[in-house]
Chains A and B, each alone.
Chain A
Amino acid sequence: MQIFLGIDVGSVSTNMVAINEQGEVVVSLYLRTRGQPIKAVQEGIRRVGEELHGSKYVVRGVGTTGSARTLSGIIVGADTVKNEITAHAVAASYLLPGVRTVLEVGGQDSKIILLRDGIVVDFAMNTVCAAGTGSFLDHQAARLNIPIEEFGGLALQSKSPVRIAGRCSVFAESDMIHKQQMGHPIPDIIAGLCDALVRNYLNNVGKGKDIQSPVVFQGGVAANVGIRAAFEKALGLEITVPKYFDVMGAIGAALLARSAVRDKQESSFRGFEVSEMEYQASSFECQGCPNLCEIVNIHVDGKILARWGGRCGKWETLKKTG
């Protein structure tokens, strides 16, 4: 069996899939990054290796995506390193042909991708502000002492959601506290929060976008039935949450790897041993000019594997010469 690995390392979760040459998902993993992307990638690779153990397979290609795509690409030896917008679009149009709108809400970012006839025609991504993304929901769930898994279900119990300002997560939080002290029941507050998040998404990321059916909702937050219901209410459209909603980026990366190695003899994959290797990251401030760039070194077993972080590229070049 030929295997293609897709790795999506985001701020909150690290997702991995293995697909076969027909593009079917063989293994899928959803891990928390917990601020340690290198550890998360190694752990993921180890678990994928375990799951595949016993079957006859060969890894033909590896693709990485997500905000730590360069880092994870170096660690595993990726054949392709792609941004998460392209990866999500590739996965959605492959698994759900005919899709015209992809709503994606992840841990730190949210995006909208418009496709027509399988081709991306427009996209948008939230800017610096992470209001209305997964980590904000996480934070509020923790504050209300509700497991994030039950968050969406509670929202559905609400009869009359309260109105919460969704522009800014700091304002939203004070609004929620205010409503809670006024005596509104928790389900109404949570449903109000879901509405606010969706309103914020549609006003910022989805501003001026022509949202057409079929609409797919993916990313970690798609697990939240409350948000999904709020999207359906706001758009007046039916929304599909795909089976692999939480690993779509990784599936996209695997599919991209499959096409990247088409005319390649061998994958650059460093093998499942990478989970055993000693990877270390260190950083220093370059004093070469007033920009004071923070340069990151990635070491493997004491040797420098890669370097980045500079504006001028002089440290990156050192990597090639030795």
Chain B
Amino acid sequence: MGTTWPGQGKGVIAVRVGVPRTLSYFSFYPLWKALFEGVGAEVVVSPPSNKELMDAGVRETVNDACVPIKLYHGHVEALKDKVDILFLPRLVSLDGKVTLCPKFLGLPDMVRYSIAGLPELIDLRLDLKKGRHELYRFLYRVGRRFTGNRARIAAAIRAARYNIQRYRKLLLQGLTPEEAFSLLENGHAANRREKGAGIKLAVLGYPYALYDDYVSVRLLEKLRLQGVDVVTPDMVAEPALRRMGKSLPKNLFWYYSNRVVWACLYYLRDYSVDGIIHVTAFGCGPDAMTNKLIELEAKHSRQVPFMTVTIDEHTGEAGVETRVEAFVDLLKRKKGLL
């Protein structure tokens, strides 16, 4: 399909924008979606991660990248022939203080030089270190790629911000991203989960590792099937997270890593969880620090049981299952529930 935009009028087929269903998708999809639809584009999301996408990603990506980055390449591969524009923003800083993992910063370049036959890219830079109006400016610039109508872009940005706020509220209530997306879209979500049978676990990790069922080998679901109440970093309200950050002598340099450490401190502060599981991708640079920090905090300072689950492209379900089952058994026996 040719580049027929910006002809957003009656009878014109909408421009299709591709959004990979991984990495920042789990944090920002409702924002992107409302924005694109507000400016008249059609949003196309890649399918949920699967073996085919993983294989394609492993094939295309530099060898020493982590699984989530490889998978991202697979998602791009799946989208590139189905859309007119690919949305691969360069996310630099989301809180105006620290940056994301360096791989996020270089992502548009990695993709551009690894994958041939890409459609037009939106790889605008989002760096909130430039000031608190930078998000608006970023969204505006994205909107300008689709329409020249300023009022229309402004309305789309308002809708987008409203949508992301509602989304974050739903996450705080304990919904998983996919549950929240479907609630925002269709107005109804899956049945509310029943309360667990007495064990509460904090499962910490980056959204793209926790909520991608293919990557995490359905870890959250497995825990819930064992009657575990699962809490994640996304279920801690922003102000509470920030307070935890202030209690540390020094914070880490990476956005998502800080959130994991702060959430860990939050759940440990009043011993409200029975144990902590850290989900980390094999070879993750920032996690070399993050994992050690939260392990020291949990196991050594507070004697709360802690386990690391490492995932890579060869992760078998059996190994994760055995460890998780044993970990839950340990907690149940400790509490006298078994």
Contacts and interface: CB of A to CB of B under 8 A. Distances in A.
A128 B319 contact: yes
Contact of B51 (A84, A122, A290): A290
A127 interface: yes
Interface stretch (B63-71, B148-156, B326-334): B326-334
19 contacts: A67-B318, A83-B321, A83-B322, A83-B329, A85-B329, A86-B329, A120-B334, A122-B305, A123-B330, A125-B322, A127-B319, A128-B316, A291-B50, A291-B52, A291-B214, A292-B51, A292-B52, A311-B213, A311-B317
Contacts of B334: 119-121
A125 B299 CA distance: 17
B322 A85 contact: yes
A121 B325 contact: no
B40 to A, nearest CB: 31
The size bracket of the interface on B is 20 to 34
A290 B314 CA distance: 16
Contacts of A82: 325, 329
A119 B323 contact: no
A224 B108 CA distance: 55
B323 A125 contact: yes
A127 B299 CA distance: 20
Question: Which secondary structure dominates where chain B touches chain A?
Answer: helix
A147 B178 CA distance: 56
Contacts of A311: 213-214, 218, 317
Given A122-B305, A128-B319, A290-B51, A83 B326 contact: yes
Interface in B39-65: 47, 50-53
Nearest to B303: A121
B314 A86 contact: no
B51 A85 contact: no
A86 B328 CA distance: 10
A289 interface: yes
Given A120-B333, A128-B316, 12 more contacts: A82-B329, A83-B326, A85-B326, A86-B329, A119-B334, A122-B299, A122-B305, A123-B326, A125-B319, A127-B310, A127-B319, A311-B218
Contacts of B317: 311
Given A120-B333, A122-B305, A127-B310, A290 B326 contact: no
Interface residues of A, number: 19
Nearest to A85: B326
Contacts of A83: 321-322, 325-326, 329
A197 B87 CA distance: 50
B305 A121 contact: yes
A-B pairs, top 7 by smallest CB distance, nearest first, are A290-B52, A85-B326, A290-B50, A86-B329, A83-B325, A120-B330, A83-B322
B322 to A, nearest CB: 5
Contacts of A121: 305, 330, 334
Contacts of B325: 82-83, 86
Interface in B274-333: 299, 305, 310, 314, 316-319, 321-323, 325-327, 329-330, 333
Contacts of B316: 128
A11 to B, nearest CB: 11
B54 to A, nearest CB: 9
B311 to A, nearest CB: 11
A84 B322 contact: yes
A293 to B, nearest CB: 8
Interface string A110-124: 000000000111110
B241 to A, nearest CB: 28
A86 B50 contact: no
A286 to B, nearest CB: 11
A264 to B, nearest CB: 16
Contacts of A290: 47, 50-53
Contacts of A84: 322
Interface string A46-67: 0000000000000000000001
A286 B335 CA distance: 41
A93 to B, nearest CB: 10
B273 to A, nearest CB: 16
A125 B310 CA distance: 12
A120 B323 CA distance: 13
Contacts of A128: 314, 316, 319
B326 A86 contact: yes
Interface in A63-92: 67, 82-86
Contacts of A123: 326-327, 330
